[in-house]
Structure formats: structure tokens, C-alpha cells
Amino acid sequence: MERRETARHKKWLKSPETREKVKKGELILLTPEDKERRDEPMRALRQALRGWGKKFRIDQDWAYDEALFTMVTYADRMKRDPDDRWTDDFAPHWGSRHSVWGAPLSSEDIAFGFDLEKGWEPTCERWANFRDRAKEEFDSKLEKYGREVRTKVEAEGYIQAPTVREPLHFIWLAERVVLGKSWAEIGTAHGRSRETIRSAVKAAAILVGISISTQARSLKPESMLEPSPPVV
């Protein structure tokens, strides 16, 4: 995977977009020493988050990757516009085991254009016939484009996420893993049987890569907002 990341980085560095941004001063390329200094506070924050999260049995790397990404993204957004808060209605549909954001495709990789082979000549073709022909050509072009982009993103190790049809199952998963509730407690609260809850939670856990215990926790966290002791 490191080899792929290196090749990806080299491709990005050589892209016309990157060179143009560097030339205009819009992008500054960091030295390894610069990156080390820049990343040190983030590593400390990640360690503190993990120390807090372990109290709730949250010990998956991806959870902290996404938590940090969200915090940094919205902190930056709030600096630009304090009124621009949690307004995104977005769920990523593609991801890898390393990230669900920023598939390494350039604007050239995903460029889409459409030109009819032959335009409409009113004296020789009815509008209805032209419209049908244009739609058929466009649909064909669109399907081909979709296949090509999927092939490119899959070559980078990304896979298409399964369709999530029941968000409630993830609420049950959080109640089981984070709050430490028993199957019976969750079932009673939601009016479902233990087996229904257990089956749904296990399926949801597989989707997000969490290993859950079949035993209820003996100790439950006192409060989700309870501060963790300092990480040394």
C-alpha cells in the first residue's frame, strides 16, 4: 500500500493543477520536517481522543480518522464563516480501508463532456425523433463514463459502499457498543425482540468493521461527556 501511496503522491505533484497552484503561491509544498512539526498537535489530539473513546469501547482507527477529519474541516469552516455549521447533507458512497474521502482522481480523470454526432436539422428530422436520438446518445455516453470512472477509482483500492436502508440499526449498534446496553434493554426500548436486535446490530457492525461482544458490558460509562484524565 505504501508503494501505491507514493505513486499517487508523485502523480499529484506532477499534475498541471498542482504546479499552477504552487506557481501562484496558493499551495506550499512542505518538507518532511515541516510535516513533522505540523502533525505533532494532531497526533496528540488523536491520542487524547482515543484515550477518551476507549472508555466506550471505540477502538477502531477509522473512527478517529473520521472524527479528526470532521473536527478539522468544521473548525476551518467556522473560521471562515461562523454561521456555516453542520449543514452538509452528504454521505460518501465510495471508500477504501484507509479513507472515505478524496479518491485520488484528478479533474482530468473525472472530466465529462458530451457532443452529439449530428445535431438537429429541422428540415430533415422531426423534433421528437431528434430528441429521442439525442437522449439515447447521451445515455450511452453517460453509462460509458460511469464505467470508466468506477474502473479508475477501483484501481486505487476503493470499493462501492453497500446501501444502508435502516439507520436505526446503527443507533442500536451505538447503544450496544458505546452505551453498553444489553440486547434485552435495547429490545425493550425499541419494542423489538432480542434476536431481532442482535441480528441487526451484528449486520451493522460488519458494515463498519466493528467487532462486538455477545456479552453485555458489566460496567457502563457514567457519562458520554465525562472528561478523560490527561494523556501522558
Q: Is residue 229 part of a domain?
A: no
Given pLDDT bands bounded at 50, 70 and 90, which one contains residue 105?
confident
Between 98 and 115, the higher pLDDT residue: 115
Distance CA 136, CA 129 (A): 11
Identify the residue whose cell numbers are 470532521. 70
Between 48 and 158, the higher pLDDT residue: 48
Last residue of a domain, one of 90, 114, 143: 90
Q: Looking at residue 85, what is its pLDDT? A: 57
CB 54 within 8 A of CB 226: no
CA distances from 170 to 87, 105, 167, 210, 219 (A): 21, 31, 5, 11, 21
Given pLDDT bands bounded at 50, 70 and 90, which one contains residue 230?
very low
pTM beyond 0.85: the answer is: no
Q: Which domain holds residue 57?
A: 12-90
The secondary structure of 6-38 as a DSSP string is: HHHHHHHHHSHHHHHHHHHTS--PPPHHHHHHH
Q: Is residue 3 part of a domain?
A: no
Q: Is residue 224 part of a domain?
A: no
Distance CA 152, CA 167 (A): 30
Distance CA 183, CA 194 (A): 5
- How many domains are contained in the chain? 3
174 and 205 share one domain? yes
42 and 102 share one domain? no
